[in-house]
Structure 1
């Protein structure tokens, strides 16, 4: 089965692009920040610089690790679901559940090793840029030499490999548990309910996020920038919890928008609504990164905006000269996670839309025109963008409102709406451009040829 996995990778390279890019970009992020640990362990590093480097590596790198794990598992899930018919066919000709599972894990392992190996050079450069940024802001001494060694390589390669294999095991379990006949039926009928484990995990993440929000108000009133310790985490945990609930959220938003889409879009609107309802799990995979991007970016940027405009706090334990370091940390966090999430949005949506080439070909053979197909995909993108922006905004509230209360005593922050408009516009443009761009490329293939693939 491992040989079959290698041959599958060789002949279906395009089908693994989304998973590869997630692992590749994730490995770059993890290695770049882990390299700061190698730098901190180098010769001639003073205590202040060592503390800054270690904090940056553990705090920012730690959050990057959480998002990377989530992203890899998400793309692996999408990849396995898209190949449900292939898994069912293997079972129908005698493959055992263990053999199918081993093939999926083998594919993930090969992709992970390739992604981690190719990420080494870009990560080396990214880590060097991080060190230069810290030195340019006087947070790390200028004479410190950059290190990229055992910590960067072992953590980066290890995390990428374990995330890929773990994600493959998790996503393959449902496929391997089904019998051949049941698997063939499941290809055309999606599971409508979330699993119990996923529901429990989602509730747990939401509870952690709410707990961080409550602690921000209860413990850090008039403590100044100290409140970021819990407020900054709140939107990340809560957004992850909402992202795990994506199948439920997709159905809820679709129910609200179904009427307007059918009225305004006609046949294309009707097909868009039916597609979203029948392909909830696939749509949920595309919705997850939109929620993460909107929630984390909005929460972190508004938290820093509130801090910049708030008066100095007498109860803060952090000296004013260290505030710049924390501001830099916040911008690095939001920059890194937002860019990664934005790339994941594009990556996931392009993969999910390109996979539907056969579906688009069938629609054109029964009379749909290319503009109608594009209109249908565009309306599906509207549903995803609306859901992602709405629930991502809800995810950011658990950071923005508690931090505003702790720092200013007011629930609503006195901050410009421009930040929010910029984030929402970026999320919407990324979503629609990715969907329509991939669909436009997919329908360039003649309909007969697309159906025959």
Structure 2
């Protein structure tokens, strides 16, 4: 199995690229925040600076850790599922479930280890940028030096390996429990009859629901009228609500496709019919693209909106309080920047990987009579459904925490400020553009690279 693992990694590096990038960027983000703990642990560090560094590392890094874990598990699951045909062929020639499980886990851990080690230089640079931002804003005392040590490396390595292992085990268990004929049918697009969400996903959904409900409750009760402290409850709640709706993305995507299926067929003709059928057959795969859209939209729009309401309230209360809230404001903007960048990378990574893998499917559609233009249009309609589901879910997550935050902080459920809603529109527009560009751009390259017959035979 060890030789098979190394040969598989060496012969098909492109097939593991999506998983590598997910672990690489995730480990870089986690290690960057972990380096703040290394910096705080230096001898002679001022107490006030230590507190700021620890808050940034634990609060922001903690939620970043959760997002990275979610993204890596999802991407690694997609990478393994795309090898259903290979797994089926191995089972048909006598490979046991245990051997397949060891193969998948071995490949995944080797890939995660290489990606995490490669991410160390990027993490060091990102950690220095975080430290410089804190120093320039006056939140830590001048004269301190940034440190990148064992805490950062251990956090990044542990998260990368654990998240990759969980993703591999979940998918390997599903692959080994499937008969070879069923796996071949699923790989060719004839499958898709399984449940939209497994028990593990429902359990994670329940945990995210509890975290979201707790955040809303604490914001409306414990933190009501507590000034700048209110945002400490609502801020993490936005991320929790975004993760909650991201976990529900298979159900939401299937529901949106059912509602809009008729209108799309009427408006888009053959392309609309292809898109609706593809969404129904590949809900699980497309839902993995909905998840980063949801988190990108919800976390970005929500955190920026909360900070906008906070700034308006601080201006009304006086500039003196504005100084005391500087740490929280910087932390929120750092959250938005890093989460938005990470989710955007994961969105493009997932969409490109999933779309490029459909080379055989596109070839079959063209052999059945669909023109390249109809294939591109169908992928574009799919992208609209994916983006629409993620954007609506993300905006809902944002508003879900914006309402209680406004009531607890400014005694109004709906903020009377156009900028708040303009933020939501701008984030939604960015998510839509990125999604469509990734989907249609990749499909165009895949279709134009080979003829329909070559695509079917090569796949």
- In the superposition, the TM-score normalised over structure 1's length comes to 0.96
Rounded to whole Å, the distance in 1 between the matches of 2:109 and 2:204 is 25
Work out whether residues 128 and 146 of structure 2, in 8 Å CA contact, stay in contact via their aligned partners in 1.
yes
Moved more, 348-357 or 171-180: 171-180
Rounded to whole Å, the distance in 1 between the matches of 2:167 and 2:254 is 25
Q: Deviation at 1:264?
A: 1.1
Structure 2 counterpart of 1:448: 453
Deviations 1:99-153 (A, max 9, x none): 1111111111111111111111111111111111111000111200111111111
Work out whether residues 223 and 233 of structure 2, in 8 Å CA contact, stay in contact via their aligned partners in 1.
no
Alignment of 1:342-421 (within 5 A): 342-415=344-417, 416=419, 417-421=421-425
Deviations 1:378-417 (A, max 9, x none): 0000101110111111111222111001011111112312
1:273 aligns with 2:273: no
1:259 aligns with 2:262: yes
Structure 2 counterpart of 1:243: 246
1:129 aligns with 2:129: yes
Rounded to whole Å, the distance in 1 between the matches of 2:334 and 2:371 is 46
Moved more, 171-180 or 131-140: 171-180
Deviations 1:363-392 (A, max 9, x none): 222322211110010000010111011111
SS of alignment partner, residue 268 of structure 1: helix
Moved more, 406-415 or 198-207: 198-207
Alignment of 1:308-319 (within 5 A): 308-311=311-314
Rounded to whole Å, the distance in 1 between the matches of 2:346 and 2:379 is 19
Rounded to whole Å, the distance in 1 between the matches of 2:160 and 2:185 is 33
1:293 aligns with 2:296: yes
Work out whether residues 196 and 283 of structure 2, in 8 Å CA contact, stay in contact via their aligned partners in 1.
no
Unaligned runs of 5+ in 2: none
Work out whether residues 224 and 312 of structure 1, in 8 Å CA contact, stay in contact via their aligned partners in 2.
no
How many matched pairs? 450
Rounded to whole Å, the distance in 2 between the matches of 1:19 and 1:155 is 19
Rounded to whole Å, the distance in 2 between the matches of 1:448 and 1:113 is 38
The alignment yields a C-alpha RMSD, in angstroms, of 1.6
Q: Deviation at 1:311?
A: 4.6
Structure 2 counterpart of 1:337: 339
Structure 2 counterpart of 1:117: 117
Rounded to whole Å, the distance in 2 between the matches of 1:410 and 1:239 is 23
Alignment of 1:36-435 (within 5 A): 36-187=36-187, 188-190=190-192, 191-311=194-314, 320-415=322-417, 416=419, 417-435=421-439
SS of alignment partner, residue 42 of structure 2: coil
